[in-house]
Structure 1
Amino acid sequence: MLLVIALGIGLFGLLLLAGNKGRGPLETLAGSVTSQVASFEKRLLSGDSRASRAAALAWFRPYRENKLYLNNTDTLLVGAYDNNTVESYERIVALEDSLALKLPIVQFYTAWGSKREQVFPMLRAQAISDLGSLPLITWEPWLNDFDPESFPRTGPADQVNVGGLRAIAAGRYDAYLDKWAQDAKAYGQPFFLRFGHEMNDAFRYPWGPQNNKPADFIAAWRHVVTRFRQQGATNATWVWSPHPAYPNYAEFYPGHAYVDWIGTTALNYGTVAPWSKWYTFSETLGNAYGELSTYGKPLMISEMGCLAVGGNRAAWFTEALTDLPLKFPKVKAVVFFNNSNDVTTTYKALDWSLNNDKATLAAIAQALKGWQLPKPAPAL
């Protein structure tokens, strides 16, 4: 423990020396030291829940360590995003306990930029792997946070996202991409990478069609994937995830050679806002499922959730999950959107979390029992 403390003090000194914008060898060294400290701490922390959880997910290990298994799964993988996992994974574990199921997938979000927290999230990915799960990283190309000295802008700062995908495709952010890819390669294990999600929605994110043409998105996607491959980061499993409410998917599809999985959202906002109403799960996914299935890729419901305003939440999940593998056989992963503080859509925070809703948790657990999970890895 004294060694850990000493290393921590040394790391703090390195970070101070590096400064807020330091991004050279010193920062790389500091990141390496941080990784080693975290690894050493994990070895010391015997008796916690890591070993038992990882043991319960032993069946998932082939998927977690080999992309061929992951991309050819014949079971249905379950996961969750929780907005509190920066601090700890206790809420994820509590959700698992309520569902009587260990979750193979743990999702989190990270933005592009020059800030320290916008580098490849090595420690978070490694922590998820140590728990026996696989990271699903939703990677959002916001371009506001790049240091203009390292990434010069061609126009006003408040217009940096206008035509941002063209700038990505033209190579303006290659230094960032290459470093991210190098760190992803160093991570060394497969992970889902959901880049530029909901690119066909003109009302949500700046990489949408209000600022870019579909051809710009395709060019940017292919450029990003190509840079990763050139750096040897072939462990990234690429998830293309359009918004199901806008049926112009084909205009944004980068091509079979650049996509591993197809993602889609299934979020019922109920009557929380004037523009929303209560939709069943079949209404949110059903219209999109047929077309998205034609791409021949495994499907992932990358954000699944229902608010409690305007209807029966437990009944919504019962309808959604009961016999889902039979009704939607192309769906190979379901990721619950367990977000207690969603501020991306309305002027007030929305609570999608399940942890305190006993009736809904019971309904989900009952439905999942019919899925016959888990299954061993398929023969390849």
Structure 2
Amino acid sequence: MQFRYAVATALPLALIAGCSSTGGPVSGSETPPAVETHAEEHKTGQTGGQDYRKPKGDYLGIYVEGKYKNKPAQQAKLFKKSVGRKPNIAKYFHAWPATFPTAWAKAAYKAGALPQLEIEPHGVGAIEDIAAGKSDDVIRAYAQAVKAAKMPISISFAHEMNGYWYDWGTKNTKPKTFVKAWRHMHDLFEEEGATDVKWLWTPNVVYPMPKVKLKQYYPGNSYVDWVGVIGYYRKNQKTPTFKWIFEPTIKQIKKFSKKPILLAETGVQTGPGRDKKITELMTTSAKRKDIIGVIWFNMDKRKAEKADYRLEANKSSLKTFRSLVTKYSFGRP
């Protein structure tokens, strides 16, 4: 799915609308490197002594819009009240070029969440310019601001690159160009000393585009810290189960990367069996050692996609979600 200019944190019930940047698919989302292990990181959430807002359980984030958009402190309070846990990831979408949202990031971190930036290079040719070094001044300024903020953050760049619906997707951008742009941005951050960053590589689940192989888009283990798989439970799916939606993507990724996996966009559309699907999603995510958490997209997409992912759309779904995130210790107490 696609979104722009927003935050993934709490759950302002009855205040929510929207679901990924603009336009996009109705696919659900429909979105030889060295082998490394991260068992200790999975337990502590820390690399190099840094605090990555990690609880004893798993990461928990939620994307919302409405009255408290871009207000992570207020969202965290509502989230705690609604589902019994505080989010420990806050997501923010913005188009490129852009400046680092320092005030928002500090507010998110103060609220107990790892700020996670989703950078979207909209405009045909924008990602090619990054790869060619034509956006270096903007990237360096962004990196300098990240360093000056003195807090850990996570950055995802050009998400769902294996899909056709974005300017940087398969219709306009070659895999090697995507990889070159990602590596170049990463290297400039390193040069500027902005090193307290978790780089989140976020492909869409593969079933809408089964012939597009993911390895060609992978920048390499030296350039990626986490893998952020994007996928949803939708009514029109052949088999709406975790195994059918996510497993083919995860299996493909594991052939070239052993990085921790975050379900960076997910949700269950309203309809028959919704509570059962929510239970499967959250239980599977909690029990798998390779998955470090989820970001639930709590969005009303009935106008754009005839889909509603809001937890509060069903009282039973909200109750089910609450019981699971507290049972498995998602997020923060």
TM-score bracket for this pair, using the shorter chain length = 0.7 to 0.9
1:81 aligns with: 63
CA RMSD of aligned residues (A): 2.8
Q: Distance in 2 between matches of 1:79 and 1:361?
A: 15
2:166 aligns with: 205
Secondary structure of 1:81's counterpart equals: strand
Q: Report how many aligned residue pairs link the two structures.
A: 283
Change (3 A) 1:357 1:260: same
Q: Distance in 1 between matches of 2:55 and 2:325?
A: 18
Q: Distance in 1 between matches of 2:54 and 2:304?
A: 41
Q: Distance in 1 between matches of 2:47 and 2:176?
A: 34
Normalised TM-score (structure 1): 0.67
8 Å contact kept, 2:53–2:89: no
1:164 aligns with: 126
Secondary structure of 1:355's counterpart equals: helix
1:262 aligns with: 227
1:288 aligns with 2:249: yes
1:104 aligns with: 88
Q: CA deviation at 1:293?
A: 3.5
Change (3 A) 1:314 1:375: closer
8 Å contact kept, 2:203–2:214: yes
2:269 aligns with: 307
1:253 aligns with: 218
* Residue from 79, 83, 86 that aligns with 1:95: 79
1:335 aligns with 2:317: no
Q: Distance in 2 between matches of 1:215 and 1:71?
A: 33
Q: Give per-residue Cα distances to partners, 1:226-263, cap 9 Å, x unaligned.
A: 11111111122100011112451101000010000001
Change (3 A) 1:323 1:348: closer
Secondary structure of 1:267's counterpart equals: coil
1:54 aligns with: none
Q: Give per-residue Cα distances to partners, 1:116-168, cap 9 Å, x unaligned.
A: xx31111111111111211111111114xxxxxxxxxxxxxxxxx1x432221
8 Å contact kept, 2:156–2:202: yes
8 Å contact kept, 2:114–2:153: yes
- What is the one-letter code of the residue matched to 1:325? A
Change (3 A) 1:67 1:139: farther
Relative contact order higher in (CA < 8 Å, ≥ 6 apart):
2
Q: Distance in 2 between matches of 1:76 and 1:370?
A: 11
Secondary structure of 2:194's counterpart equals: coil
2:203 aligns with: 242
Q: CA deviation at 1:94?
A: 2.3
Q: CA deviation at 1:282?
A: 2.7
Normalised TM-score (structure 2): 0.76
Give the percent of matched residue pairs that are identical in Structure 1 and Structure 2. 28
* Residue from 290, 296, 312 that aligns with 1:355: 312
- What is the one-letter code of the residue matched to 2:324? A
Change (3 A) 1:69 1:91: closer
Secondary structure of 1:306's counterpart equals: coil
Change (3 A) 1:374 1:338: closer
8 Å contact kept, 2:154–2:198: yes
8 Å contact kept, 2:202–2:227: yes
Secondary structure of 1:364's counterpart equals: helix
1:33 aligns with: none
- What is the one-letter code of the residue matched to 1:88? K
Q: Distance in 2 between matches of 1:249 and 1:68?
A: 30
Give the gaps of 5 or more residues in structure 2: 1-43
Q: CA deviation at 1:297?
A: 0.8
8 Å contact kept, 1:165–1:217: yes
Give matches, 1:220-239, under 5 Å: 220-239=181-200
Secondary structure of 1:290's counterpart equals: helix
Change (3 A) 1:298 1:349: same
Q: Give per-residue Cα distances to partners, 1:263-291, cap 9 Å, x unaligned.
A: 101212324xxxx5562233211222223
Q: CA deviation at 1:104?
A: 1.0
Q: Distance in 1 between matches of 2:55 and 2:322?
A: 22
Higher Rg of the two aligned structures: 1
Give matches, 1:44-123, under 5 Å: 63=45, 70=52, 75-84=57-66, 85-86=68-69, 88-89=71-72, 90-113=74-97, 118-123=98-103
Q: Give per-residue Cα distances to partners, 1:195-215, cap 9 Å, x unaligned.
A: 11110101x211011101100
Larger relative helix fraction: 1
Change (3 A) 1:237 1:108: same
Give the gaps of 5 or more residues in structure 1: 1-61, 144-160
Q: Distance in 2 between matches of 1:92 and 1:104?
A: 9
8 Å contact kept, 2:119–2:158: yes
